[in-house]
Amino acid sequence: MEIEHCVFPDDLMYDLDNLIWARKDAGNVLVIGITSILSAIAGKILAVKLKGVNTTIMRGKNIGTIESGRYFGTVRAPVDGKIMSINHELVSNPKLANDSPYEKGWFIALTPTSDINIMKDLKSLPDDSEEIRSLIRTLHVKCYAALPDFEMFEIGIECAATLSKLDDLISGIETGQIVHLVSDDPMADIEMTRWAEQTGQKLIETRIEENLLHFLVQKIN
């Protein structure tokens, strides 16, 4: 399910107080990670530290931390349990928590030390979609199709000048990196589409919010 542009898989349970999710796997194991809301709040995650295997964790206590250039916070356990495995790939590549928060970016797997029915206190979809929508708006969260590496806010600037600056930025970044461009030029939608076709770069997302146009551009070549 997509709520306010933020993704929430229907088959997971959610701890909305701590912005995490849990999935029950075979063998009475819970896999835990962060939601797209927390990913968006943190921005580009630069470091993930996790508690070790066999660590016993109480509900509400931290299983690890995430850190970005603007955020440092703890990730908390939704149930009492014992950590059975951790995602070493995430520790090596923390941005997985941004790019794939519900799949490759999982944090830990634990075995609950109390009744698995304690998950009844977690939230399911779609029953709680309105609660999530309200939370996103209260926190002023902005989710996009991909996490940008660079931001350009070109307000009051004609699109031709903006595209010239975008060309300069694109030429100096790595292939695969993403630019979030914001413009109030009413012709920006047409001009950005034409620019992407001419340059061969990928226009991942276009969004209009009031009088502002948001674009996600990925460098392809």
Is the model's pLDDT at 136 over the cut of 70? yes
Count the Cβ atoms, other than its own, within 10 Å of residue 32.
Answer: 25
Could you report the per-residue pLDDT of 62-92, keeping only the tens digit for each? 999 999 999 999 999 998 999 999 999 999 9
Domain 150-218: CATH superfamily is TusA-like domain (3.30.110.40)
Alpha-carbon span 105 to 95, nearest angstrom: 8
Could you report the per-residue pLDDT of 93-114, keeping only the tens digit for each? 999 999 999 999 999 999 998 7
Indicate the burial class of 130 (C-beta count within 10 angstroms; 0-12, 13-18, 19 or more).
exposed
Q: Where are the domains of the chain?
A: 2-139, 150-218
Which CATH number applies to 2-139?
2.40.50.100
Residue 188 vs residues 98, 161, 180, 213: alpha-carbon distances, Å: 27, 11, 13, 7
| Model confidence pTM above 0.75 | yes
